[in-house]
Amino acid sequence: MPLLALPLPSSEAYIDAFSRAELPVLRHTVRAFEELRSAEHAPGAREIAAVVLADPLMTLRLLTHLESNRRASQNHDITTIERAVLMLGVEPFFTAFSGLATVEDTLAAYPKALVVVLKLIARARRAAMFAREFATMRRDHDVQEITVATLLHETTEIVCAIHAPTLTLDAIGRRRTEPARPAAAVQREVFGVSAAELQHALISAWRLPGLLAGLLDSSHADNPRVRTITLATRFARHQARGWSSPALASDLTELEELLHQPRETLLQRLGVPAEIRVHLLPDAPEE
């Protein structure tokens, strides 16, 4: 599919276009797979999973591949990456995911859009890291499920930036000109639809496992697991602006309530340096 230069007429049109287009992965992912496959000793599922989890696009590709090729004997969802690799098998995995297109090649003519995609992917990784820590603190019954769902939480924005780079850059430019405007409003103005509005339909089209789809459903906002993912994503977005971002204060208040942890403990668990922690505490001195 050629990259979109103009908005499509409906959500359904975007879903059809994105579903037909090949989803590229990071060049680093392709190289890492080549190294693992050519290694003297056959890699294990854990080694492969570590590479997959560093790339939300590859994570999405693996899960959708597994669901599309689901065996009749499989009576439960596969929701974590190591289990997915084990289910597929090492050699079938490398056979299925050889010759992958890369994000870098796809956006070679759009270097600014490539930077946007790489930043979104880095933020998704950071959100997944936060979510893993929050889920551990909550003693969640499956921390890996939370990690994977968080990694995929903003995949729609990444996909839009890859397949519609000029529209994405237009939306970013408008946000910079009018920073007070909500992102969803600008997205509707440029794309005709917001990323959030596309999310649910795309999850269905991608045939994600039901449990992961439920964790990504904003209508379940009161569910502690969904709230963990939402707060981790929001925290990563705000923290990307620096630890001095004023938006972090409300995030931390909500996290204290969710995790039942004092802020000092929470900040220590997140590895925030002591000289920064002092400014994030409720009784922090005014500068």
The mean pLDDT value for 90-98 works out to 94
- pLDDT-based confidence at 105, cuts 50/70/90? very high
Residue 123 reports pLDDT greater than 90:
yes
- pLDDT-based confidence at 1, cuts 50/70/90? low
Q: Where are the domains of the chain?
A: 23-103, 104-280
| Pair 205, 13: CB distance under 8 Å | no
Tell me the per-residue pLDDT of 24-34, one tens digit each, with 9 for 90 and over. Answer: 999 999 999 99
Q: Considering the entire predicted model, what is its pTM? A: 0.92
CA–CA gap between residue 215 and residue 206 (Å, rounded): 15
- pLDDT-based confidence at 74, cuts 50/70/90? low
Q: In the CATH hierarchy, which top-level class contains the domain 104-280?
A: mainly alpha
Tell me the per-residue pLDDT of 179-225, one tens digit each, with 9 for 90 and over. Answer: 889 989 999 999 999 988 888 788 888 888 887 888 888 788 889 99
Tell me the per-residue pLDDT of 127-175, one tens digit each, with 9 for 90 and over. Answer: 999 999 999 999 999 999 999 999 999 899 999 999 999 999 999 999 9
What is the predicted pLDDT for the residue at 168?
96
Percent of the chain surpassing pLDDT 90: 68
What is the predicted pLDDT for the residue at 42?
86
Residue 101 reports pLDDT greater than 80:
yes
- pLDDT-based confidence at 71, cuts 50/70/90? low
Tell me the per-residue pLDDT of 249-259, one tens digit each, with 9 for 90 and over. Answer: 899 999 999 99
User: For all residues of the chain together, what is the average pLDDT?
Assistant: 90
Measuring CA to CA, which residue among 218, 177, 225 is closest to residue 199? Answer: 218
Residue 66 reports pLDDT greater than 60:
yes
CA–CA gap between residue 268 and residue 248 (Å, rounded): 15
Higher pLDDT, 112 or 242: 112
Partners of 102 in the β-ladder: 25
- pLDDT-based confidence at 280, cuts 50/70/90? confident
Tell me if residue 257 falls in helix, strand or coil. Answer: helix
DSSP one-letter string for 69-101: T--TT--S---SHHHHHHHH-HHHHHHHTSS--
